[in-house]
Chains A and B, each alone.
Chain A
């Protein structure tokens, strides 16, 4: 990472510290140490308090101790990483000095700032990218383990317990990675620059949202050592009530993840609504900003339902409550409803940012304005609105409210209309363009292919009689992998390639990137097409073993999965090697018009020396009169030069 250029601010301050020496020594490692100590201490105290030696039934003991210890780990970590330094100082009656604020923003700290509670939105973006790619790698390894086991029927590598645990872990780790993989890196890094802001609205909350997410990853990994979860990531009750303590760790992980994403979502919404540059009306706001904002709103509405479900699950398990335990008067359908009120919007939380990123780069690589920009905005908003009204299509076969099958079939099928609008916008933008077939454009084509298949098969599943046959079958697995891996993940990879130069100052290695693109596309379609066939012929999902008639399809799926893995490794190699020694990028290698391309790569602290003024939208390709931005304070000659550089370099 190149050193950032430091924008001087007012008068120079003396370098010596004005108190707060402790703050400057806190980082990720101190966080881990404090977190582990807190967890161990709390575990033993809780185990002592709750486990009554006179009581033979000690089954309750570990649950409470695990819950307490996992919560203590997160709080301890946050204390140790320095998340509460500033509030603590205010309690002591002292304020942060300017130097302290600049330190918190990561000024002059080199690589160390990525391991600290750093408030600069660009640092947070990089942290999110590295974390998302790491967790995606973990989830991918789990997926490969599952596929390797399923290469042949029979007991094979391991039995049902380990298999079920793997399925659940793969599910939740992938869900978390895909939720953060566009909004985390690019919503934080690019979005504020795109709207002409110097940072997020609440920089400290921004750091808090990342550092609350970070300790969640070890929590999910600890699930495996606490007996795993037998339920899959849906954690259906009452199976979750008989699960080992891994379930407690899982629930605490979800609760912390929802808190982290809620903090991030509020920050993104406030930033996008209040900090857009002078002149940037909603009509002139890039579609990616709109997508991130809409996603944040949706996440803020939907994800807390999962949190509530998990809190109640924990109460059921540790405090003998009975929200979801039918034997004690609870309702498993209550849980299913809570889960799916989160669960369906959540797939749009994953999908919309990736789609918006694709919409953002299609005009750049077609050299044409975004076709029907209003249609795209309406499509995104309609997706958000409809997605909270369709959850019961996941419960068509549950037996809950059969009379609602018709209405929910209606709302679900209505989703095909806004999805169709987005497809129209995409092909309308490509139509008669000057298609510049650089790597991001290949990903746009990959998205068009995969997401079309994912969307169409979703319509199959919206039909109640068809769903009665296909629900719980491998068909569903194939369908949502086509949307989430083939659609959202491809979009996220496009975003990495597209914004890589802005984040790192270096160009992405497109030769290896292209190889990885084709490898992934072929492997992906082989893997999941075979699953469609197996699913239609009646193979259930989440089974550790299967009848020999499904052997061929499973072998093809496993072979395809290995091809995907090779492609992903190629992509990882391209990312790492380009980051280390790719060719130096200019400020605007794509000739794009959104604001992030007017600042150096990588952008300096606080992004803009002079805040831009927006005078038109960012898609004026072929329109000399539509100018997105002017820079007051910069001499006119330099502006023209910058524009020319922007168009030609």
Chain B
């Protein structure tokens, strides 16, 4: 970033760097660079601290990916913010002409700086390209099923204002609590009986709308034992804020036991068409 700064004042001839740094412009550049660097460090501390204390506990591979992405984006934004704010701050400090009644004298007529503009656009394009590549990689990895384990399919049905879960591969067990086995990929087939809801597990970084008459799909692999929340993230009417339930990630053996307790048979396939679901009373 400091490369771009050096070009702000017009440098017509190019004496060695050490000489240029001793001119008034050079000193200005050093001061601005110092301000920007200090600001970068301060912002970096904030930008790393902020997602880490806020994000819910990580309970799946998807959420790990989300957390990394947010951290990387947050870190990448620190120098950009520092650059703009640092220059704005420095200008205000050093070229402040007061707030008198009459306008101050005119400043230097700097209309353009093609090299700086080009560097700025190329720099932001490169940053964008990096973010895009990162995003596409993360998108691919979060939408690809791991091949090393047999996935579990769960039907998720939203209705105003509760969630139902069906386990068609475990004897058609139904539940209002979402129980997931640890370390096994889960495919959620999501639909709704009335209006649009949005199936969201904050701790697993997955969210997909539950649409009436359509099935949407998302997937993740829970990798931590514990309790998580299932929320609705799309305004769906009167009790939208109460459309939440809890879920648990349990060990595979405990999962089989839970299925048996619910009257199902682990591994018994019951064809359930997610699109032919009647609302519960």
Question: What is the interface of chain A, defined by CB distance below 8 A to chain B?
Answer: 159-161, 164, 167, 230-232, 234, 236, 238-239, 242, 326-327, 332-333, 364, 366-375, 397-399, 402, 405-406, 409-410, 413-414, 416-417, 420-421, 423-424, 426-428, 430-438, 445, 448-449, 452-453, 456, 459-460, 462-466, 468-469, 471-473, 510, 532-534, 536-538, 540, 542-546, 590-591, 619-623, 647-649
Q: Are A590 and B132 in contact (CB under 8 A)?
A: no
* Chain B neighbourhood of A459, CB < 8 A: 73, 77, 131
Q: Are A160 and B96 in contact (CB under 8 A)?
A: no
A selection of 10 A-B contacts at a CB cut-off of 8 Å is A421-B121, A431-B87, A431-B91, A435-B91, A435-B95, A456-B80, A464-B135, A466-B70, A469-B66, A623-B109
Q: Complex formed: what's the CA distance from A161 to B139 in Å?
A: 37
Which A-chain residue is minimally distant from B139 (CB atoms)?
Answer: A464
* Chain A neighbourhood of B131, CB < 8 A: 413, 459, 462-463
* Chain A neighbourhood of B239, CB < 8 A: 160
Q: Are B70 and A231 in contact (CB under 8 A)?
A: no
* Chain B neighbourhood of A538, CB < 8 A: 56, 202-203, 229, 231
Interface centre among B121, B190, B196 (most CB of A within 10 A): B196
B97 an interface residue at 8 Å Cβ cutoff? yes
Q: Are A434 and B117 in contact (CB under 8 A)?
A: no
Q: Are A434 and B106 in contact (CB under 8 A)?
A: yes
Chain B nearest CB: distance from A466 CB in Å?
A: 5
Which A-chain residue is minimally distant from B9 (CB atoms)?
Answer: A432
Q: Are B66 and A430 in contact (CB under 8 A)?
A: no
Segment with Cβ contacts to A, from B15-23, B205-213, B255-263: B205-213
Q: Are B107 and A468 in contact (CB under 8 A)?
A: no
Q: Are A413 and B132 in contact (CB under 8 A)?
A: yes
Q: Are B139 and A420 in contact (CB under 8 A)?
A: no
Segment with Cβ contacts to A, from B47-55, B151-159, B164-172: B47-55
Chain B nearest CB: distance from A454 CB in Å?
A: 12
Q: Complex formed: what's the CA distance from A283 to B240 in Å?
A: 53
Q: Are A460 and B85 in contact (CB under 8 A)?
A: no
Which B-chain residue is minimally distant from A533 (CB atoms)?
Answer: B54
* Chain A neighbourhood of B235, CB < 8 A: 164, 167, 230-232, 234, 236, 239, 542
* Chain B neighbourhood of A536, CB < 8 A: 50-51, 54-55, 70
Known: A242-B194, A398-B211, A430-B88. 10 other contacts (CB 8 A): A234-B235, A238-B196, A372-B113, A402-B143, A417-B125, A432-B9, A435-B96, A463-B73, A536-B54, A545-B241
**Option from A231, A420, A590 in Cβ contact (under 8 Å) with B124:** A420
Interface size class of B (residues with CB under 8 A): 35 or more
Proximity bits, B71-88, A CB within 8 Å = 1, else 0: 001100100110011011
Question: What is the interface of chain B, defined by CB distance below 8 A to chain A?
Answer: 8-9, 50-51, 53-56, 62-63, 65-66, 69-70, 73-74, 77, 80-81, 84-85, 87-88, 91-92, 95-100, 102-113, 116-117, 120-121, 124-125, 127-128, 131-132, 134-136, 138-139, 142-143, 190, 194-196, 198, 200, 202-203, 205-209, 211-214, 216-218, 229, 231-242
Interface of A is mostly: helix
Q: Complex formed: what's the CA distance from A359 to B189 in Å?
A: 49
Q: Are B124 and A326 in contact (CB under 8 A)?
A: no
Q: Are B208 and A423 in contact (CB under 8 A)?
A: no
Given contacts A372-B117, A423-B84, contact A399 B214 (CB under 8 A): yes
Chain A nearest CB: distance from B73 CB in Å?
A: 5
Q: Are A472 and B136 in contact (CB under 8 A)?
A: no
Q: Complex formed: what's the CA distance from A438 to B92 in Å?
A: 12
Q: Are B91 and A332 in contact (CB under 8 A)?
A: no
**Option from B69, B74, B110 in Cβ contact (under 8 Å) with A432:** B110
Interface centre among B53, B65, B66, B100 (most CB of A within 10 A): B66
Which B-chain residue is minimally distant from A553 (CB atoms)?
Answer: B54
Given contacts A368-B106, A456-B81, A468-B206, contact A409 B88 (CB under 8 A): no
Chain A nearest CB: distance from B80 CB in Å?
A: 7
Which B-chain residue is minimally distant from A234 (CB atoms)?
Answer: B235
Q: Complex formed: what's the CA distance from A239 to B116 in Å?
A: 51
* Chain B neighbourhood of A448, CB < 8 A: 84-85, 88
Which B-chain residue is minimally distant from A619 (CB atoms)?
Answer: B111
* Chain B neighbourhood of A364, CB < 8 A: 103
Which A-chain residue is minimally distant from B123 (CB atoms)?
Answer: A420
Given contacts A399-B216, A417-B121, contact A427 B65 (CB under 8 A): no
Q: Complex formed: what's the CA distance from A364 to B102 in Å?
A: 12
Q: Are A622 and B241 in contact (CB under 8 A)?
A: no
* Chain A neighbourhood of B103, CB < 8 A: 364, 367, 436, 590-591, 647
Chain A nearest CB: distance from B222 CB in Å?
A: 15
**Option from A333, A431, A435 in Cβ contact (under 8 Å) with B110:** A431
**Option from B51, B74, B113, B196 in Cβ contact (under 8 Å) with A332:** B196
Q: Complex formed: what's the CA distance from A533 to B53 in Å?
A: 9
Given contacts A413-B135, A445-B88, A542-B240, contact A371 B229 (CB under 8 A): no
Q: Complex formed: what's the CA distance from A547 to B190 in Å?
A: 25
Q: Are A332 and B211 in contact (CB under 8 A)?
A: yes
Chain B nearest CB: distance from A127 CB in Å?
A: 31
Q: Are A230 and B238 in contact (CB under 8 A)?
A: yes
